[in-house]
């Protein structure tokens, strides 16, 4: 039997699980996002220092307005910081132009939002295919479809791929959004309250799918209001007023170590 030229290779693992996670995928230093100036300035993120290891599941919790989405948007390359440095997957993204940032984002990041953001007139598989097309216009139409089907199968939606978003439950729509985020094989997935609009059971399915992506070395940033899910992450970050209030990795309280600046947190792990 001749090999099918359009067969999609399984995703390459980004890192072997046996290799210690020494390289941070995200390195933020003194990261600040502010709107306006002087007394009317609004602070979203205030001088944050943070490393997230490659292949980690990191959770961010905190009260409404504490800066979770702002920090997530900076790390995803959707927004630019006012000051500070931000290196993600080896690229310094804090000073990239909008065009370069968009190209970098297409190659590197998958994004999942609370309210799915699926295009309502496209089927599940067309929504996922569009993400492949936007990330890489050179991919042949048949390969786009194959990859879309594989991604939808990996979130358990092979049989519902032809449905429009309105013909899917909320949990299913979010699984389509996860398929869309992972179909480009990104190094990083940023999910901003992906379970926020779902019932508990669907929320758990979505969480498990996201957490499972770390097995191939994908780094997942999971923003949530659910403390129970947040506690299951490798790295747990709690924000307050734009700052990191508490930060735990592998059971170690990172805050005093990072604040002291005398210890490399990757070594501490």
Ligand X SMILES: Nc1ncnc2c1ncn2[C@@H]1O[C@H](COP(=O)(O)OP(=O)(O)OP(=O)(O)O)[C@@H](O)[C@H]1O
**Binding interface with ligand X (CB under 6 A):** 35, 42, 44, 62, 64-70
In terms of CB distance, is 67 or 186 closer to ligand X? Answer: 67
Shortest Å distance, C-beta 37 to ligand X: 12
Considering only residues 27, 59, 69, 195, which one is a binding residue for Mg ion as defined by CB under 5 A?
A: 69
Contact 31, 81 (CB under 8 A): yes
Using alpha carbons, select from 155, 147, 150 the residue that is nearest to residue 171.
155
Binding partner of 194, given ligand X, Mg ion, none, CB within 5-8 angstroms per partner class: none
Using alpha carbons, select from 80, 74, 86 the residue that is nearest to residue 29.
86
Shortest Å distance, C-beta 114 to ligand X: 8
Binding partner of 65, given Mg ion, ligand X, none, CB within 5-8 angstroms per partner class: ligand X
Shortest Å distance, C-beta 134 to Mg ion: 24
Contact 266, 53 (CB under 8 A): yes
The CA distance from 199 to 208, in Å, is: 14
Q: What is the three-state SS of 140-187?
A: CHHHHHHHHHHHHHHCCCHHHCCCCHHHCCHHHHHHHHHHHHHCCCCC
Shortest Å distance, C-beta 81 to Mg ion: 17
Binding partner of 184, given Mg ion, ligand X, none, CB within 5-8 angstroms per partner class: none
**Which residues would be at the binding site for Mg ion (CB under 5 A)?**
69
């Amino acid at each position: 039997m001749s090999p099918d030229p359009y067969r999609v290779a399984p995703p390459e693992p980004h890192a072997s699980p046996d290799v210690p996670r020494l390289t941070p995928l995200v390195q933020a230093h003194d990261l600040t996002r502010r709107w306006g100036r002087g007394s009317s300035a609004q602070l979203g993120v205030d001088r944050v220092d943070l490393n997230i290891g490659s292949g980690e599941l990191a959770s961010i919790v905190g009260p409404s307005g504490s800066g979770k989405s702002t920090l997530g948007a900076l790390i995803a390359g959707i927004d630019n910081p006012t000051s500070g440095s931000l290196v993600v997957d080896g690229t310094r993204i804090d000073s990239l132009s909008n065009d370069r940032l968009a190209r970098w984002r297409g190659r590197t990041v998958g994004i999942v939002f609370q309210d799915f953001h699926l295009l309502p007139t496209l089927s599940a598989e067309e929504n996922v295919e569009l993400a492949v097309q936007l990330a890489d216009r050179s991919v042949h139409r048949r390969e786009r479809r194959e990859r879309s089907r594989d991604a939808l199968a990996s979130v358990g939606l092979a049989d519902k791929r032809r449905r429009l978003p309105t013909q899917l439950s909320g949990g299913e729509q979010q699984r389509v959004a996860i398929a869309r985020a992972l179909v480009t094989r990104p190094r990083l997935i940023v999910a901003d309250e992906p379970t926020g609009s779902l019932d508990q059971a669907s929320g758990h399915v979505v969480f498990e799918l996201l957490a499972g992506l770390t097995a191939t070395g994908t780094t997942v940033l999971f923003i949530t209001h659910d403390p129970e899910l947040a506690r299951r992450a490798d790295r747990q970050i709690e924000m307050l007023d734009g700052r990191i209030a508490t930060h735990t990795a592998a059971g170690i309280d990172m805050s005093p170590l990072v604040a002291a600046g005398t210890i490399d947190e990757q070594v501490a792990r």
